Amino acid sequence: MKISMKKALALLLGLALLCSGSHAQDTAHFRKIVKDLSSARFQGRGYARDGVVKAGKYIESEFRKAGAEEVTMQPFTQDVNTFPGKVRLWIDGRRMQPGSEFVMREYSPGVHGEGPLYYIDTLNYDGDRIIADLCRPENEGCFVVCDFWFTYKHSADFKKMQTDGECLNAGLVYTWDTPLKFYKAYANRVVDKPIIWVPSSVLNHADGRRASQIRADVDNEFLTGYESSNVIAKVSGVRHDSCYVFIAHYDHLGNFGRRLYFPGANDNASGTAAIITMAEYYAVHKPMYDMYFIALSGEDTGLNGSAYFVEHPVMPLESIRYVFNFDMIGDNNPVQYCEVSPQGLAGFRQMEAINAQKSYLKGFNLGELAANSDHWSFARKGVPCIMFENEGGEAFPHYHTAQDNMTTMRFETYEPLMNLVKDFISGYDK
């Protein structure tokens, strides 16, 4: 029987994987996928330049190359605010660096103009007096300055400052300790007035004076009904009555201006690469149950992709034995942070027992279940699930900054975590 060179190489690769042990995991491929997804090619896997759409097509191709038998795209739409054009800011005449010295709140409109800075006295705060003061003609066009976390304590007052017709200020400047973080979680709307985040250091001169003037030239573009896709791959098992599901979000923050993009190597090219290499593993090592690998879009914009999936699942949700959510696993902290649904706690205890025996990780930090990643959508439906997120390592401080790249990525816990999950699956009895 004649076979092509391509098929012969594929057979040799499969034989090598089978002979290399039950836990063989392609770390080199993992690194390559992370590098690809965090490159300029995908512009931060965001929306303004269709980076998320291009990334989805790349992932589809990677799943096929990994050996998945079925790969489908599940499109959905969402509204999202973006900043693809000019992003320029001056404080007392000094131009600020986008990303490191200022960002926009994700639901901010654009801003084109200048005005004086109006500082909130947080030690002697009187909300009624400040609101009245901001309605005085002499304060028209000012930008209110306040510590970001302080605004949470007085949200009703600051909502008025964001609303046309309530106060005469032109916008707000919130201070945030470095590194500045850029977000998309509430980007499905645009408020009336611009909200700019800066580190407090840029408002202080060397001689002790506080900055007094701001000028901004920032464009926003609100995209309505933007379409991206969840990418769903399947590897068939011996049995088809139930399944395991591996999820990771591949979307990220995209661009801030024409030149700056957020690579998102750890968040979450790392999780996306993990589920692709797991698909590659199970395509060679046939599993007992069907395996689904879902690269989700729309997580950074509010868990939109996973919310859509659980309402339009490709398998009965009650048939899912366990969901594994990999979100920011590219780090080096040997203590693994986890969140687990109530239905998944028994399984988590089994993982702890396996780890105690095999010492894959130093331990686990079990946090409170929260709506902070895509496992939440499954948990709300009563599905057993766990989120893995490596907090406290060297890469973690860089998430949601432009420094989340291949230079700051760490790879130490990738393989131990994958081995733990595979051991769990091989012995889990629901």
Q: Is the pLDDT of residue 16 over 80?
A: no
Report the SS3 class of residue 94: strand
| Rounded Cα–Cα distance for residues 274 and 277 (Å) | 5
Q: Top-level CATH class of 87-218?
A: alpha beta
| Rounded Cα–Cα distance for residues 349 and 355 (Å) | 10
pLDDT of residue 4: 46
| Rounded Cα–Cα distance for residues 398 and 394 (Å) | 8
In the predicted model, what is the mean pLDDT of residues 368-379? Answer: 98
- Which residue spans of the chain are classified as CATH 3.40.630.10? 21-81+224-427
What residues pair up with 9 in beta bridges, in sequence order? none
**In sequence order, which residues have a C-beta less than 8 Å from that of residue 203 and are 6 or more positions away?**
91, 117, 145, 173, 175, 210, 211
In the predicted model, what is the mean pLDDT of residues 101-116? Answer: 98
Return the exposure string of 150-171: e unless at least 16 CB atoms fall within 10 Å of the residue's CB, then b: ebeebeebbebbbeeebbbbbb
What is the sign of the dihedral through the CA atoms of 217, 223, 227 and 233?
positive
In the predicted model, what is the mean pLDDT of residues 182-207? Answer: 96
pLDDT of residue 430: 60
**Minimum mean pLDDT range among 12-16, 213-217, 397-401:** 12-16
Strands 221-235 and 289-296: antiparallel
On the 0-12 / 13-18 / 19+ scale of CB atoms within 10 A, 372 is: middle
| Rounded Cα–Cα distance for residues 110 and 82 (Å) | 10
**Minimum mean pLDDT range among 50-59, 130-139, 260-269, 420-429:** 420-429
pLDDT of residue 177: 83
Q: At CA 427, angle to CA 422 and CA 430, rounded to 5?
A: 110
Share of the chain above pLDDT 90, in %: 92
Phi first, then psi, for residue 68 (nearest 5°) are -65, 140
DSSP state of 56: H
Express each pLDDT in 278-310 by its tens digit.
Answer: 999 999 999 999 999 999 999 999 999 999 999
Express each pLDDT in 331-363 by its tens digit.
Answer: 999 999 999 999 999 999 999 999 999 999 999
pLDDT of residue 428: 84
What is the chain's mean pLDDT, rounded?
94
Instruction: Please answer whether residues 145 and 211 qualify as being in contact, where contact means their C-beta atoms are separated by less than 8 angstroms.
Output: no
Instruction: Please answer whether residues 66 and 276 qualify as being in contact, where contact means their C-beta atoms are separated by less than 8 angstroms.
Output: yes
Express each pLDDT in 306-329 by its tens digit.
Answer: 999 999 999 999 999 999 999 999
pLDDT of residue 5: 43
Residue 75 identity (one-letter amino acid): P
**Right CATH for 21-81+224-427 from 3.40.630.10, 3.90.1170.50, 3.40.50.1820, 3.90.1150.10:** 3.40.630.10
In the predicted model, what is the mean pLDDT of residues 64-90? Answer: 97
User: DSSP letters of 238-270?
Assistant: SEEEEEEEEEEE-----EETTTEE---IIIIII
- Angle, helices 51-66 vs 271-284, to 10°: value is 20
DSSP state of 41: G
Express each pLDDT in 21-51 by its tens digit.
Answer: 455 668 999 999 999 999 999 999 999 999 9
pLDDT of residue 24: 61
Structure tokens at 186: 């509430």
Name the strand (E) or helix (H) holding 415.
Answer: helix 414-427
| Rounded Cα–Cα distance for residues 210 and 376 (Å) | 43
Q: Is the pLDDT of residue 184 over 90?
A: yes
- Which residue spans of the chain are classified as CATH 3.50.30? 87-218
pLDDT of residue 23: 57
Structure tokens at 295: 């690269």
Cis previous bond, 268, omega within 30: yes
